Protein backbone atom coordinates (compact mmCIF):
# COMPACT_ATOMS: atom_id res chain seq x y z
CA UNK A 1 0.00 0.00 0.00
CA UNK A 2 1.01 3.61 -0.61
CA UNK A 3 -0.14 6.77 1.13
CA UNK A 4 -1.29 10.00 -0.47
CA UNK A 5 -0.95 12.67 2.23
CA UNK A 6 -2.98 15.48 0.56
CA UNK A 7 -1.88 18.10 3.12
CA UNK A 8 1.87 18.66 2.81
CA UNK A 9 2.58 22.15 4.13
CA UNK A 10 5.06 23.74 6.57
CA UNK A 11 2.81 23.20 9.60
CA UNK A 12 2.78 19.45 8.93
CA UNK A 13 6.57 19.04 8.75
CA UNK A 14 8.10 18.55 12.19
CA UNK A 15 11.80 18.45 13.07
CA UNK A 16 13.22 15.99 15.59
CA UNK A 17 16.13 16.73 17.96
CA UNK A 18 18.60 16.16 15.07
CA UNK A 19 16.62 18.46 12.75
CA UNK A 20 15.47 15.52 10.63
CA UNK A 21 12.07 16.35 9.07
CA UNK A 22 9.08 14.14 9.85
CA UNK A 23 5.72 14.35 8.09
CA UNK A 24 2.72 14.64 10.44
CA UNK A 25 -1.08 14.99 10.30
CA UNK A 26 -2.36 12.09 8.24
CA UNK A 27 -6.01 13.07 8.78
CA UNK A 28 -6.64 13.66 5.05
CA UNK A 29 -4.38 10.84 3.85
CA UNK A 30 -5.65 7.99 1.72
CA UNK A 31 -4.20 4.50 1.26
CA UNK A 32 -4.10 3.01 -2.20
CA UNK A 33 -2.56 -0.13 -3.75
CA UNK A 34 0.91 0.09 -5.29
CA UNK A 35 -0.34 -1.30 -8.61
CA UNK A 36 -3.00 1.43 -8.88
CA UNK A 37 -1.41 4.77 -9.77
CA UNK A 38 -4.67 6.77 -10.01
CA UNK A 39 -7.00 7.48 -7.07
CA UNK A 40 -10.56 8.78 -7.23
CA UNK A 41 -11.84 11.41 -4.81
CA UNK A 42 -15.32 12.77 -4.17
CA UNK A 43 -14.16 16.10 -2.71
CA UNK A 44 -11.05 18.29 -2.72
CA UNK A 45 -8.59 17.70 0.13
CA UNK A 46 -5.79 19.86 1.42
CA UNK A 47 -4.90 23.45 2.13
CA UNK A 48 -5.41 26.21 -0.41
CA UNK A 49 -2.04 27.37 -1.70
CA UNK A 50 -0.50 23.90 -1.47
CA UNK A 51 -3.14 21.89 -3.34
CA UNK A 52 -2.38 20.60 -6.83
CA UNK A 53 -4.68 21.90 -9.60
CA UNK A 54 -6.11 18.44 -10.26
CA UNK A 55 -7.58 18.43 -6.76
CA UNK A 56 -9.67 21.51 -7.66
CA UNK A 57 -10.75 20.49 -11.14
CA UNK A 58 -11.90 16.89 -11.47
CA UNK A 59 -11.94 17.01 -15.28
CA UNK A 60 -8.15 17.56 -15.52
CA UNK A 61 -7.35 13.94 -14.74
CA UNK A 62 -6.90 11.37 -12.01
CA UNK A 63 -5.23 12.02 -8.70
CA UNK A 64 -1.84 10.39 -8.06
CA UNK A 65 1.27 10.81 -5.93
CA UNK A 66 2.04 13.82 -8.11
CA UNK A 67 -0.42 15.86 -6.03
CA UNK A 68 1.88 15.43 -3.01
CA UNK A 69 4.93 16.27 -5.15
CA UNK A 70 3.21 19.52 -6.17
CA UNK A 71 2.47 20.35 -2.50
CA UNK A 72 6.08 19.66 -1.56
CA UNK A 73 7.24 21.96 -4.36
CA UNK A 74 5.00 24.74 -3.04
CA UNK A 75 6.51 24.18 0.41
CA UNK A 76 10.03 24.53 -1.02
CA UNK A 77 9.10 27.72 -2.86
CA UNK A 78 7.78 29.19 0.38
CA UNK A 79 11.09 28.40 2.12
CA UNK A 80 13.16 30.41 -0.38
* Buried/exposed 26-59: b ≥16 CB within 10 Å, e otherwise: eeeeeebeeeeeebeeeeebbbeebbbebbeeee
35 is known as an active-site residue: no
Direct distance between the N- and C-terminal alpha carbons of the chain, in angstroms, rounded to an integer: 33
Q: Which of 7, 25, 35, 68 is catalytic?
A: 7
Residues catalogued as catalytic: 7
Amino acid sequence: MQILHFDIKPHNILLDENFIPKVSDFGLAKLYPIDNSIVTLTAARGTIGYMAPELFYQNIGGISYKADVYSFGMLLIEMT
